[in-house]
């Protein structure tokens, strides 16, 4: 960290005047600040419009090879709002590939990778947008197959049956569809590792996926801002504190939930310094059984705008209703519910259920019960018809679209 601050920081225009500064003296930044000053945050001075042009053209043609000044340009699979853009150098790309393999592959998979007499390790990767960042994982000992989520699911099932992967990597919504195909008998694969990426992993998805594939589900916590964490052999997600420094910005008095403020002292192209992420993480609160000293998480709860808000009884103060407690209530409401969405629009929560017709009653009972427990005013619940999402959409079950008007903070 000291070397990064001493030698790399001032090479980006934004930090010119901070040469020799301590971390705590540097400004906190976030995605809007970074995008508004994009050229000043990378050490090559590449402006946002040039990087975006290249990344969008690559995504349109679904040819993910182009680079800019020898740097890889990537786009995050944004949900609503602004998409993230990242720049990485060849060296950073190689290290990213190495770190992710070291962190994710089990000893058995690693032995296979390095045994010249064994078949190459085959990895199937489902993502909304590929990037040559991911292609750099493909090597002679590693058969790397990218599955394009713009294609229909039965095409993927056929491709997987033709070339069964040893390691399957996908967002939980996709893993869930593949798990259904395994349980239904149309998909016959026996991966040794199954890894969840790119979306919040919820308990019901985990259960179904582990049941179908009969291996513990691993998690990678990765964002535009880098490779932030991965699950350990004991099953907890650890922050990648060997390569990033994380300052927790606590959201509750008990210091359990926090927004991470990340400084990546291993990246020297696009600087990530005291960068506040939109995510809400839950600290595990105790040392992990695996023995690693890095901070471990109980869960990656979601994004800051996955938090719903309600008026406290008595004074009307705006109180957060965190997504994991809403998820727990929804799980209690109905065992046969296949899927749901909850969106806050001011004083109303709009609920969509993919479930039997009487599920709405149980959901109303659970959500109103939850509000009583939290001592907040129950919102007006509006039930809308279920609408299936496309595979290209990132699933966000719980989302605050519009906060309550005139709410006291
Ligand atoms: Zn651990």
Per-residue pLDDT of 379-389, as tens digits, reads 999 999 888 77
Three-state SS string over 283-318 comes to ECCCCCCCCCCCCEEEEEEEEHHHCEEEEECCCCEE
pLDDT by residue (tens digit) across 315-369? 988 888 988 889 888 888 876 677 899 999 999 999 999 887 778 899 999 999 9
pLDDT at residue 267, rounded to an integer: 93
| Phi, psi dihedral angles at 313 (to 5 degrees) | -65, 140
Using alpha carbons only, give the angle 325, 330, 169 rounded to the nearest 5 degrees: 85
Report CA(286)–ligand 1 centroid distance (Å).
10
**Mean pLDDT score, 115-141:** 74
Report CA(235)–ligand 1 centroid distance (Å).
7
Q: How far is Cα 222 from Cα 286, in angstroms, rounded to an integer?
A: 23
Does residue 53 sit in helix, strand or coil? Answer: helix
Report CA(231)–ligand 1 centroid distance (Å).
7
DSSP 378: P
pLDDT by residue (tens digit) across 234-252? 999 999 999 999 999 999 8
Report CA(292)–ligand 1 centroid distance (Å).
6
Report CA(294)–ligand 1 centroid distance (Å).
8
Report CA(233)–ligand 1 centroid distance (Å).
6
Report CA(265)–ligand 1 centroid distance (Å).
23
| End-to-end Cα separation, the chain, in angstroms | 36
| Phi, psi dihedral angles at 224 (to 5 degrees) | -50, -35
Report CA(11)–ligand 1 centroid distance (Å).
36
DSSP E strands: which ranges in 12-166? 67-68, 71-75, 85-88, 121-127, 142-148
pTM (2 decimals)? 0.83
Q: What are the structural domains of the chain?
A: 90-304 (3.40.50.12780), 307-402 (3.30.300)
Report CA(288)–ligand 1 centroid distance (Å).
5
Report CA(238)–ligand 1 centroid distance (Å).
6
Sign of CA dihedral 7, 9, 12, 14: negative
Q: How far is Cα 7 from Cα 11, in angstroms, rounded to an integer?
A: 8
Report CA(295)–ligand 1 centroid distance (Å).
9
Report CA(169)–ligand 1 centroid distance (Å).
20
Percent of the chain with pLDDT over 90: 52
Q: Which residues contact 214 (CB under 8 A, 6 or more apart)?
A: none
pLDDT tier for residue 80 given thresholds of 50, 70 and 90: very low
């Amino acid at each position: 960290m000291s070397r990064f601050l001493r030698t790399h920081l001032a090479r980006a225009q934004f930090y010119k005047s901070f040469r020799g500064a301590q971390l705590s003296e540097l400004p906190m930044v976030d995605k809007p600040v970074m995008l508004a000053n994009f050229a000043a945050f990378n050490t090559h001075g590449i402006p946002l419009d040039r990087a975006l042009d290249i990344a969008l053209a690559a995504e349109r043609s679904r040819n993910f090879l182009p680079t800019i000044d020898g740097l890889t340009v990537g786009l995050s699979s944004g949900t609503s709002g602004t998409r993230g853009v990242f720049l990485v150098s060849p060296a950073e790309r190689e290290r990213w590939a190495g770190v992710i393999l070291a962190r994710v592959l089990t000893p058995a998979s690693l032995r296979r990778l390095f045994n010249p007499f064994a078949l190459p390790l085959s990895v199937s990767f489902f993502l909304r947008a590929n990037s040559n960042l991911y292609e750099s994982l493909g090597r002679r000992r590693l058969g790397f197959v990218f599955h394009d989520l713009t294609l229909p699911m039965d095409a993927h099932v056929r491709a997987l049956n033709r070339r069964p992967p040893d390691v399957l990597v996908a967002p939980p919504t996709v893993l869930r569809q593949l798990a259904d195909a395994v349980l239904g008998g149309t998909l016959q694969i026996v991966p040794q590792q199954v890894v969840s990426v790119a979306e919040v992993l919820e308990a019901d998805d985990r259960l179904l996926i582990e049941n179908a594939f009969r291996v513990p589900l691993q998690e990678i916590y990765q964002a535009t801002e880098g490779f932030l964490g991965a699950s350990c052999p004991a099953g907890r997600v650890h922050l990648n504190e060997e390569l990033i420094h994380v300052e927790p910005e606590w959201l509750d008095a008990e210091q359990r939930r926090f927004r991470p403020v990340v400084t990546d002292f291993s990246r020297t192209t696009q600087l990530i310094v005291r960068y506040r992420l939109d995510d809400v993480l839950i600290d595990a609160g105790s040392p992990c059984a695996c023995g690693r000293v890095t901070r471990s998480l109980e869960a990656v709860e979601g994004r800051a705008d996955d938090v719903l808000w309600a008026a406290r009884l008595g004074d009307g103060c705006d109180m957060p209703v965190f997504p994991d407690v809403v998820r727990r209530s929804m799980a209690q409401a109905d065992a046969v519910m296949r899927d749901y969405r909850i969106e806050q629009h001011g004083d109303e929560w709009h609920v969509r259920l993919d479930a039997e017709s009487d599920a709405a009653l149980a959901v109303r009972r659970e959500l109103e019960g939850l509000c009583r427990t939290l001592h907040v005013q129950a919102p007006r619940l509006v039930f809308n018809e279920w609408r299936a999402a496309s595979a290209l959409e990132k699933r966000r079950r719980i989302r605050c679209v519009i906060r309550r008007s005139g709410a006291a903070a």
